[in-house]
Amino acid sequence: MGEVVMPQMGESIVEGTITKWLKSTGDKIEKDEALFEISTDKVDSEVPAPDSGVIEAIFYPEGETVDINTVVAYIGDGSRLGQHGAPAQGATVAMPSAPTPAASAPEPSVPAPPPAATAAAVTEPAAAPPGRRIRSSPLVRRIAKEKGIDLALVGKGSGAGGRITKNDILAYVERQERAAVSAEPASPFPAAPESRFGDFEVEPLSAMRLSIAEHMVRTKRVSPHVSTVHQVDCTRIARLRDATKERFLQQQGVKLTYLPFFLQAAASALKAYPAVNASLDGKNLIKHSEINIGVAVALDWGLLVPVIRNADEKNVLGLQLAVNDLAVRARSKTIRPGEISQGTFSISNYGSYNSLLATPAINQPQVAILGIGSVAKAPVVINDAIAIRSISYLTLTFDHRVIDGATGDLFLEHMRGILENWSAPVL
């Protein structure tokens, strides 16, 4: 029995937000029973009690963001509490002092980028020398006054005798505005006061939704997204799944889905086309030897991408069990931060919600993501005859800085060849 501290939920995590206390002061609790829920910029999780006993003190309320290793509660034998959970007369539980931060390696020195104004000034015309008369029309002077512009900074105009024209000052204004925009990172949360009308309520975004928004804006800003779509005949794996799914459920206790078939085909394609199994670090391409595939899991409160490590070493059974395990623990908030990191490729299985086609966003810093549409029966032409087949559409979204269209198409063709000619057993 003793102190309960805010855990470190990953190497880069320095704080956590207490989103919900699952016990109150005076409640009994067993060791490893969930005590409170936390949210970090990587994962939402439940924190178990380190010991059995009675909750004698809770030091931080819900919604409070607390540094790691800070004492947030105290578990004792209940002797400090009265009959109604209040501290007993003469008994106190002192509020702990803030923890001494652990020594860490100094941050690498990174040269600061030049100010935007300096960068913009390089392309601006030379300012007018002191004392020189600035020739301009009343319209130009009015625009300059409205925009707060010193006409001396506009430089020599394009009009007769160096007169500053309307086009000159408007071009100057555009250059300045463009420089100001490029100097500030795009915010995923632009103000929208016009959205507040009629009857409404305001709900702050959770830490997870904030993290997702920043991640998605970053990936669209950084990576030139290109998507290619291939139709795949999944009839062979559909028949195999139908023939074995009941026995699979009885023996393994989980349902057999289409996802492990796609995972195994993707792992093979990643081996064949290693440029897709890579990440970008600035101007350096990081080619990964391991094949760690992240699978997006939809949660009621957001989205997580747990990672199946060494996916190429697992068969359909192993992949299905790994998918189920990670999904269950993601939804029960018991997944560990290390299980949602170090992915080399990602998959979005939107077909499980009957979506036929989508163009998923790349999961930075990876260079590609696979989207899987639903497997549904459709009429197709085979040998000049119409047949009913189980069809799915696969989308590969890739970073065009690294991958060209030919590589993307060959990757999906490799997958298609495996899926349409599947021969490996399931059990």
Report the pLDDT value the prediction gives residue 104, as an integer from 0 to 100. Answer: 40
E-only strand ranges, 11-156: 15-21, 28-29, 34-39, 44-48, 53-58, 65-67, 71-76
Residue type, position 141, single letter: R
In this structure, of 112-126, 300-314, 386-400, the range with the lowest mean pLDDT score is: 112-126
Structure-token match 């507040």, residue found: 196
The residue from 23, 53, 76 where one domain ends is 76
Q: Evaluate if residue 121 carries a pLDDT over 50.
A: no
Q: Evaluate if residue 271 carries a pLDDT over 90.
A: yes
Residue type, position 325, single letter: D
Whether 235 and 315 map to the same domain: the answer is yes
- Active-site residue, selected from the candidate residues 288, 404, 409, 414: 404
Instruction: Assess if residue 134 is contained within a domain.
Output: yes
Q: Evaluate if residue 131 carries a pLDDT over 80.
A: no
Residue type, position 18, single letter: I
Q: Average pLDDT, stretch 317-326? A: 97
Report the pLDDT value the prediction gives residue 106, as an integer from 0 to 100. Answer: 42
In this structure, of 46-50, 78-82, 220-224, 412-416, the range with the lowest mean pLDDT score is: 78-82
Q: How confident is the model at residue 122 (pLDDT cuts 50, 70, 90)?
A: very low
Report the pLDDT value the prediction gives residue 279, as an integer from 0 to 100. Answer: 95
Q: Evaluate if residue 66 carries a pLDDT over 80.
A: yes
Instruction: Assess if residue 111 is contained within a domain.
Output: no
3-state secondary structure of 143: helix
Report the pLDDT value the prediction gives residue 363, as an integer from 0 to 100. Answer: 94
Whether 126 and 249 map to the same domain: the answer is no
- Read off the CATH number of the domain in which 280 is found: 3.30.559.10
Q: Is the model more confident about 394 or about 187?
A: 394
Q: Average pLDDT, stretch 23-52? A: 88
For residue 391, the cross-strand partners are 233, 376
Instruction: Assess if residue 196 is contained within a domain.
Output: no
- Read off the CATH number of the domain in which 36 is found: 2.40.50.100
In our burial notation (b when 16+ CB lie closer than 10 A, e otherwise), range 108-119 reads eeeeeeeebeee
Looking at 148-206, list the stretches that DSSP marks H as alpha helix, in order from N- to C-terminal side. Answer: 166-183
Whether 159 and 229 map to the same domain: the answer is no
d(CA 100, CA 297): 37
Report the pLDDT value the prediction gives residue 101, as an integer from 0 to 100. Answer: 43
Report the pLDDT value the prediction gives residue 191, as an integer from 0 to 100. Answer: 82
d(CA 402, CA 387): 39
Report the pLDDT value the prediction gives residue 89, as an integer from 0 to 100. Answer: 44
Report the pLDDT value the prediction gives residue 64, as an integer from 0 to 100. Answer: 87
In this structure, of 117-126, 142-151, 236-245, 323-332, the range with the lowest mean pLDDT score is: 117-126
**Which CA distances in Å does 280 have to 286, 337, 370?**
6, 22, 17
Structure token pair of residue 183: 């100097």
Instruction: Assess if residue 289 is contained within a domain.
Output: yes
Q: Nearest-CA neighbor of 48 among 72, 31, 65?
A: 31
- Active-site residue, selected from the candidate residues 51, 400, 409, 414: 400
d(CA 368, CA 362): 6
Q: Evaluate if residue 231 carries a pLDDT over 50.
A: yes
Whether 277 and 373 map to the same domain: the answer is yes
Using only the alpha carbons of the chain, give its radius of gyration: 30
Q: Is the model more confident about 132 or about 284?
A: 284
Q: How confident is the model at residue 118 (pLDDT cuts 50, 70, 90)?
A: very low
pTM > 0.85: yes or no: no
Instruction: Assess if residue 18 is contained within a domain.
Output: yes
pLDDT tens per residue, range 104-115:
434 334 344 444
Active site residue 215: no
For residue 372, the cross-strand partners are 394
Whether 158 and 303 map to the same domain: the answer is no
Q: Is the model more confident about 160 or about 85?
A: 160
The residue from 49, 76, 103 where one domain ends is 76
Spatial contact of 413 and 234, defined as CB atoms under 8 Å apart: no
Whether 177 and 273 map to the same domain: the answer is no
3-state secondary structure of 241: helix
For residue 102, the cross-strand partners are none
Q: Evaluate if residue 123 carries a pLDDT over 70.
A: no
Structure-token match 């939804």, residue found: 331
Instruction: Assess if residue 198 is contained within a domain.
Output: no
- Read off the CATH number of the domain in which 144 is found: 4.10.320.10
Structure-token match 């309320």, residue found: 61
Q: How confident is the model at residue 141 (pLDDT cuts 50, 70, 90)?
A: confident
Q: Nearest-CA neighbor of 51 among 4, 85, 91?
A: 4
Q: Is the dihedral of CA 148, 151, 154, 159 positive or negative?
A: positive
Q: Evaluate if residue 100 carries a pLDDT over 90.
A: no
Q: Is the model more confident about 255 or about 19?
A: 255
Q: Evaluate if residue 92 carries a pLDDT over 60.
A: no
Report the pLDDT value the prediction gives residue 94, as an integer from 0 to 100. Answer: 55
Q: CB-based burial of residue 131 (10 Å sphere; 0-12 exposed, 13-18 middle, 19+ buried)?
A: exposed
Instruction: Assess if residue 376 is contained within a domain.
Output: yes
How many structural domains comprise the chain?
3
Q: Is the model more confident about 211 or about 6?
A: 6
Q: Evaluate if residue 420 carries a pLDDT over 90.
A: yes
Q: Average pLDDT, stretch 381-405? A: 97
Report the pLDDT value the prediction gives residue 54, as an integer from 0 to 100. Answer: 94
Q: Which domain holds residue 124?
A: 116-183
Instruction: Assess if residue 167 is contained within a domain.
Output: yes
Whether 171 and 306 map to the same domain: the answer is no
Whether 160 and 232 map to the same domain: the answer is no
Tell whether omega for the bond before 365 is within 30 degrees of 0, i.e. cis.
Answer: yes
Spatial contact of 293 and 366, defined as CB atoms under 8 Å apart: no
Q: Evaluate if residue 116 carries a pLDDT over 60.
A: no
Active site residue 404: yes
d(CA 12, CA 41): 10
Whether 174 and 233 map to the same domain: the answer is no
Report the pLDDT value the prediction gives residue 337, as an integer from 0 to 100. Answer: 77
d(CA 317, CA 426): 6
Percent of the chain with pLDDT over 70: 84
Whether 277 and 172 map to the same domain: the answer is no
The residue from 183, 201, 232 where one domain ends is 183
Contacts for 18 with CB less than 8 Å, ≥ 6 apart: 36, 37, 38, 60, 61, 62, 63, 64, 65, 66, 72
Q: Nearest-CA neighbor of 293 among 278, 273, 311?
A: 311
Whether 120 and 68 map to the same domain: the answer is no
